[in-house]
Structure 1
Amino acid sequence: MKGIQVDLLEPDRIVCSFKVTPPLPPLLNGGNFMHGGATATLVDLIGSAAILTVGTPSFGVSVEINVSYLDSAYPGEEVEVEAKALRVGKAVGVASVELRKKKTGKIIAQGHHTKYLALASKL
């Protein structure tokens, strides 16, 4: 996604940040705070990136994405996204993803992403 900065990249973990800046209609909902769909997309993308840090040869396909929405992010706020690969095997990868306000550390959302990775070996 455009505007996301990678702050830390290591095996099993990635930390990114971005600023919620209008006018970015895909990021904001009608209430003028970060859209739940944008949050779910970040869980998908950054969770996948954490799984890839382990060295899996396949992007795979999502099997499950779960997001718990705990707070809102408003225009001008910086958001930090931390994803950790919990398990990466031959067929399945699992990551946890947390979005939080960079200034206060308050959790905006927590996500869990499961991917099927064995697809590349079948091609």
Structure 2
Amino acid sequence: MEKAKRFLKPTNEESESVARLSVPVHQIGVNSSFYEYFSLRGIRVDRVEPGFVACTFKVPPRLTDRTGKFASGAIANLVDEVGGAVIHVEGLPMNVSVDMSISYLSTARLNDELEITSRVLGQRGGYSGTIVLLRNKATGEVIAEGRHSLFRQHASKI
């Protein structure tokens, strides 16, 4: 247990970095939230077609672990966001994630450029399924594959 505590204890540099963060009050619809700014900044959308989205993302320092590898939580976040974006309809509420399954197949490092593709696997009623693939753009190596189930409640017909 002590070994785990020592591993998880932030370094002085990490503590100071967090202390310098400034988190303004978020105004919905006016500006991006801290979450969007922190985790989604840097995604470049390359192609959008019905049922398909392709993006490029360069791994930034803020989303790496202590060893300089792209953090698994950041990968899960991209699967959630890009998987949800491929089925989002402007003007309707966002879908809610019901289930995600991610296979971490390799690692990406700081400044690696990734290709992220997402496509719709199917939709039935309010449920949708998507698949998200993250590849290293330089090597073509698959970093992760995620399957994502989402739900949006349809308006009542009454």
Normalising by structure 1, we get a TM-score of 0.88
Structure 2 gap segments, 5+ residues each: 1-39
Query: Could you tell me whether the CA contact under 8 Å between 2:88 and 2:95 is conserved in 1?
Result: no
Is 1:36 aligned with 2:75?
A: no
Query: Could you tell me whether the CA contact under 8 Å between 1:44 and 1:113 is conserved in 2?
Result: yes
* Structure number having the greater strand percentage: 1
Cα-to-partner distance string for 1:36-93 (whole Å, 9 max, x where unaligned): 000000000000011126x793422111011100001101210111000111233101
Instruction: Give the alignment of 1:91-110 within 5 angstroms.
Output: 91-110=126-145
Structure 1 gap segments, 5+ residues each: none
Q: For the residues of structure 2 that align with 1:108 and 1:34, how far apart are their CA atoms?
A: 10
Aligned to 2:58: 19
Runs of 4+ in 1 over 2 A off after TM superposition: 55-58
Is 1:88 aligned with 2:127?
A: no
Q: For the residues of structure 1 that align with 2:127 and 2:54, how far apart are their CA atoms?
A: 22
The structure, 1 or 2, with the larger RCO (C-alpha pairs under 8 Å, 6+ apart) is 1
Q: Residue 56 and residue 100 in structure 1: after superposition, are their counterparts in 2 closer, same or farther (change >3 A)?
A: farther
Q: For the residues of structure 1 that align with 2:92 and 2:75, how far apart are their CA atoms?
A: 26
Aligned to 1:45: 81
The aligned length equals 117
Identical amino acids, percent of aligned pairs: 35
